[in-house]
Amino acid sequence: MALVLAGCGAPKPPELVVYAASSLTDAFQALGPAFEAAHPGARVTFAFAGSQTLRLQLEQGAPADVFASAD
């Protein structure tokens, strides 16, 4: 009997991808470390740009867990 365990090993730490309007940079950069402290092992990655630019990227399939628009 053969048992295949593809992809087994230590799970990848969770990552939260946040797309946010440039005008929200200071607020989200302050929240990032607080989120990571409250969720050990989690990592927050930010992408800051204009709301319309981010919206277009999302429509084209860019992966994001959170979208914070200034509009």
Domain parsing of the chain, residue ranges = 15-68
Q: How far is CA 37 from each of CA 28, 60, 66, rounded to the nearest angstrom?
A: 14, 32, 18
Whole-structure pTM value: 0.78
4-48 pLDDT per residue, tens: 555 556 677 789 999 999 999 999 999 999 999 999 999 999 999
Binning pLDDT at 50, 70 and 90, where does residue 1 land? very low
For domain 15-68, give the CATH superfamily.
Periplasmic binding protein-like II (3.40.190.10)
| pLDDT score, position 13 | 74
Instruction: Identify the burial level of 21 via C-beta atoms within 10 angstroms of its C-beta, where 0-12 means exposed, 13-18 middle and 19 or more buried.
Output: buried
